[in-house]
Amino acid sequence: MNGKLEDTLDQLYEIEGVEACMLYRIDGVPITIRVPEYREHLLETMFWLEKHIRRVLGEMNREGLRETIFFFRNNRILIAPSSKSTVLVTIAEAQANQQLISLETLRASKNVEACVA
């Protein structure tokens, strides 16, 4: 995989409060994942995302949203489409700096778009 893409995900993952970041295909198949170690709640969230990412993206498209943030269990999940075929998902602790993570996720999604285009 492209080195710039890997660096972009590594930089996003290193932000304080980010528990995981994943790049998915729009059909819910994970392409690459950054997680610290096995954590059951993250695994459950990832399974949920695999099943529902297409529907969430459809709703975002209908509403004209560039990104969406929601709470799932004790985490904040930010979903940002990064190209026509990929979506970047960032899972953060509830108390993490939401503005910083949102801005960095959008920056990372633009870098991902440049890598996969």
Q: How many domains does the chain have?
A: 1
pLDDT (tens digit, 0 to 9) for every residue of the chain, 117 residues total? 578 888 999 999 999 999 999 999 988 899 999 988 878 888 888 888 888 898 999 899 899 888 888 888 889 999 999 988 999 999 999 899 999 999 999 999 999 988 887
State the pTM of this model. Answer: 0.90
CATH number of the domain within which 32 lies: 3.30.450.30
Residue 42 and residue 91: Cα distance in Å, rounded? 8
**Mean residue pLDDT across the chain:** 89
The whole-number pLDDT of residue 50 equals 87
Cα–Cα distances in Å, from 103 out to 1, 52, 57, 84, 108?
A: 24, 24, 19, 20, 9
Cα–Cα distances in Å, from 91 out to 1, 3, 107?
A: 22, 22, 16
User: 97: which residues sit within 8 A by CB, 6+ positions away?
Assistant: 16, 17
Owning domain of residue 88: 3-116
